[in-house]
Structure 1
Amino acid sequence: MGTTSVDAKQGKLSYKLFWTWDHTTNWVLNTIGKQNCGVANHYTKRPDTFVRDYLRVIDWSAANGVDAVGIVGLLRDVHGGFDSARRLCAYARERGVRIYLIAGLYAYGGIYYEGDSPLSLDRFLARNPDCMGQAMDGSPRYINFRYPYGYKKEPVACPSNPKVRNFVLDSLDYLFMVLPELGGIQMEAGDSFQCLCDQCRARRAEMRGGEKRLPAFSLSDMAGIYPEAADVIRSRSSDAWVICETYTHYINNNAFNDVTSPAMQAMLKMPDETFWQWSDRHFGKRVWTEADRLPEHLRRFRHVMRAHHSTQWEGGRGTLAVDAIRQQCRLSYAAGIQGVSMFGETSPFHANTEFNYLALQYFADHPMDSVQSFAEQVMAPRLGGTALAERYLELAVLHKTPEKIPAAVREIAKIISSITGDDALRRWTYLASFLNSYYWESVQEKKN
Structure 2
Amino acid sequence: MKPTIALLVFGLVAVEVVADDPSQSKSIPTPSKDTAAGPTQRGVIVAASDATSAAHRFKTLIAQDAGLNFAVVSPNQKHDVGDLQFVFCTKASRSELKHLLPAAALSADLKPQGFLISTDSTTTQAVVIGGDPDGLRYGVGELWHYHCSLDGKRIVPQNSLWLVKAPAFSKRMFWNWTHCTNWDDDLSRVHQTKHVDAIGTLEPYLVQPNGFVDTFQKVVDFQADHKLNGLIVWGFINDAHGGLATAQSVSKYAKANGVKILPGIGTMGYGGFYFGGNHPFNISTFLAKHPQVRLMVQADGKDMPGTPCPSDLVFQQWLRDGAEWYFTTLKDIGGVNLEHGDFFQCHCPRCKMQRSLPENDQNYHWDMMATQVPVIERGLKISPDLWFSYACYDAYSAALLSNPPKFLAQYPKSAITQWTYTKMIADPILNPAGSWPLSLRPPTGTNHSVGLLHQGSHWDVKRQWWGESDKSAVAFGGTYSLVSDLIQQTCHRAIADQSEGLQIIGQIGAASPQNELNYLALEAFSWNPQLDYQTWIDRELAPLYGGPKLSRRYYELVSNITKLPQEIASDIQEAQQTHTQMSDPRQARRWANLISELRRRQTLTP
TM-score, structure 2 as length reference: 0.62
Question: Residue in 1 aligned with 2:418?
Answer: 277
Q: 131-140 or 29-38: which moved more?
A: 29-38
Cα distance, 1:266–1:281 mapped onto 2, change above 3 Å: closer
Counterpart code for 1:258: N
Following superposition, the deviation at residue 257 of structure 1 comes to: 5.0
1:226 is aligned to 372
Greater alpha carbon shift after TM alignment, 27-36 vs 57-66: 27-36
1:85-107 CA distance string (max 9 Å, x none)? 11122222222221111121011
Q: Which structure has greater strand proportion?
A: 2
Is 1:86 the counterpart of 2:242 in the alignment?
no
Deviation sequence 1:63-109 (CA, Å, 0-9, x none): 22111111101111111211111112222222222111112101111
Alignment of 1:181-196 (within 5 A): 181-191=332-342, 193-196=344-347
Helix, strand or coil for the counterpart of 1:429?
helix
- Residue in structure 2 matched with residue 446 of structure 1 by the alignment: none
Q: Which one is further off, 368-377 or 190-199?
A: 190-199
More helix by share: 1
**Aligned partner of residue 359 in structure 1, secondary structure:** helix
Q: CA 1:244–1:266 in 2, change beyond 3 Å: closer, same or farther? A: same
The residue type paired with residue 240 of structure 2 is: V
Select the residue among 309, 328, 337 that pairs with 1:158: 309
Where does residue 311 of structure 1 map in the other structure? 457
Question: Are the equivalent residues in 1 in contact too, given 2:231–2:260 (CA < 8 A)?
Answer: yes
Alignment of 1:164-203 (within 5 A): 164-191=315-342, 193-203=344-354
Any residues of structure 2 matched to 1:18-417 within 5 Å, and which?
Answer: 18-29=174-185, 34-37=193-196, 44-129=206-291, 130-142=293-305, 155-191=306-342, 193-206=344-357, 209=361, 211=363, 218-251=364-397, 254-255=399-400, 258-259=403-404, 264-281=405-422, 287-289=434-436, 291-295=438-442, 297-299=444-446, 301-314=447-460, 315=463, 316-399=478-561, 401=563, 404-417=567-580
| Contact 2:279–2:285 under 8 Å retained in 1 | yes
Q: In structure 2, the residue corresponding to 1:141 is in which secondary structure?
A: strand
Shift of 1:57: 1.7
SS at match of 1:100: strand
Asked if 2 retains the 8 angstrom alpha-carbon contact of 1:103 and 1:185, the reply is yes
Q: Which amino acid aligns with 1:247?
A: Y
Identity %: 26
Q: 2: distance between equivalents of 1:134 and 1:90?
A: 40
Q: 1:109 to 1:166 in 2, by over 3 A?
A: same
Q: Which runs of 5 or more structure 2 residues have no equivalent in the other structure? A: 1-111, 115-165, 425-429, 464-477
Q: 1:401 to 1:197 in 2, by over 3 A?
A: farther
Q: Give, in whole Å, the separation in 2 of the partners of 1:360 and 1:11.
A: 11
Query: Partner amino acid for 1:275?
Result: I
Deviations for 1:353-400, whole angstroms, at most 9, x for unmatched residues? 222222111101110111111112322111122122222222212246
1:442 matched to 2:587? The reply is no
Larger Rg: 2
Aligned residue type for 1:230: I
Deviation at 1:318, TM superposition (A): 3.0
Q: Pick which of 73-82 and 400-409 moved more.
A: 400-409
1:400 and 1:73, CA in 2 relative to 1: closer, same or farther beyond 3 A? farther
What displacement does 1:203 show? 2.7
Which position in structure 1 is the counterpart of 2:587?
424
In 1, the alpha carbon distance for the partners of 2:113 and 2:575 equals 42
The number of residues matched between the two structures is: 411
Letter in structure 1 aligned against 2:194: Q
